Structure 1
Amino acid sequence: MATMMVKRLQPMMSHARRSYVELMFQVMGRALQAISEVDETTRNETCELPEGFLFEMQVMPNGPKLIVEHTGNGKLLFHGDEAPRPVDLSIQFKHIAHAFLVLSFQEKTSVAFANDRMLVDGDVSYAVRMTRVLNRLESFILPRLIAERAVKEYPATIKLPEKLISAARIYLKVATQFVETVRA
């Protein structure tokens, strides 16, 4: 009886995980664009990327993905899941369950790499830079308790007033982007 129940629930759980990962990639892509507009430290980090640099995060082989482009001056532009040309850097989760663990903050990105759940296709120095940007984003938009579980090291330089103001600005920009997408 229990085995039959598990067999019935597995497809629903798999679909729920995939839907969650797709939604998180939508939020993360928009939030990456937003943080590059509101945070000078992030812009300084992304300024080191070549103009036109395309970054992709995806689930292998043809799962959900997000694509952002460095458009210059440290600004990132979210392209959804369609790259206008071949990407320069791809961070790939080997399975939807691995992506779910990281994106639901049950496993740090660094632990996922160490556990061989992710691949990097492209220049490793750019992957490290983008990981720092993602960690900074998570440090701003997540409650500290959750962010500490998500990032390798929570930045000591982020104080509560800066966190709250930056998080509010990022979330406002993300919400605005979602509204604009619905209107289009």
Structure 2
Amino acid sequence: MLAKLTRSAALRARRQYVRTMFRFMGHALEAISRSDQKVIDDARPLPEGFVFQMMVLPSGPSLVLEHTGQGELRYLGDDYDGKVDLSIRFKHMAHAFLVLSFQEKTTEAFANDRMVVDGDIGYGVRMTRILNRLESIILPRLIASRAVKEYPADLGLLEKVPGAIGIYRRVLTGLIRDLRKEALPI
């Protein structure tokens, strides 16, 4: 009985962690697309109105972003139900947890058949590069090296620290805005 309760609590904690990380990543991707030239350049070729989703199957937490043009991404939240152009779906909550807790690189998860990409694979590679750039900037190098395939050799401390501070500031602003929306009566 105790083991079953412990396992159930662990599953709920993983689900909440993944949901929180997706929300954080959504705001962080929106923020970095407004400040980092490499991300802007990577996102610019995406079609305007392009919608990217990352989620856990079958109906787990998700994050949805839209390319609004000129390399800028907008976080649409987790309850978007419109057309999606590119979806990266984790096959199980445990797989998403491994990647989002930096125990496994995204490329390793894909190689280990833990996720499915639905859409143009070229756009999938582009979005993975954007995610890797984000992780490289906002995470300490030791952790980022575990999260990305290759840590950028040209990312110095003088670029990383101000970039991370700006992203964290924008993420905090976005999270506060979300909490205010959730607190408003419907």
| TM-score > 0.5 by shorter chain | yes
**Residues 59-74 of structure 1 correspond to what in structure 2 (within 5 A)?**
59-74=56-71
Q: CA RMSD in A?
A: 0.9
**Residues 6-45 of structure 1 correspond to what in structure 2 (within 5 A)?**
6-45=3-42
Q: Paired residue for 1:182?
A: 179
Stretches of 4+ moved more than 6 A in 1?
Answer: none
Q: Paired residue for 2:184?
A: none
> What's the secondary structure of 1:37's corresponding residue?
coil
Cα distance change, pair 164–19 in 1 and its aligned pair in 2 (3 A): same
Q: Paired residue for 2:95?
A: 98
**Residues 1-184 of structure 1 correspond to what in structure 2 (within 5 A)?**
4-83=1-80, 85-184=82-181
One-letter amino acid of the structure 2 residue matched with residue 17 of structure 1:
R
> What's the secondary structure of 1:79's corresponding residue?
strand
Q: CA deviation at 1:7?
A: 1.9
Provide the identity percentage: 58
Q: CA deviation at 1:180?
A: 1.7
Distance 2:169 2:15 in 1: 25
Task: Structure 1: state its 5+ residue gaps.
Answer: none
Q: CA deviation at 1:84?
A: 5.8
> What TM-score results when the alignment is normalised by the length of structure 2?
0.95
Q: CA deviation at 1:83?
A: 2.6
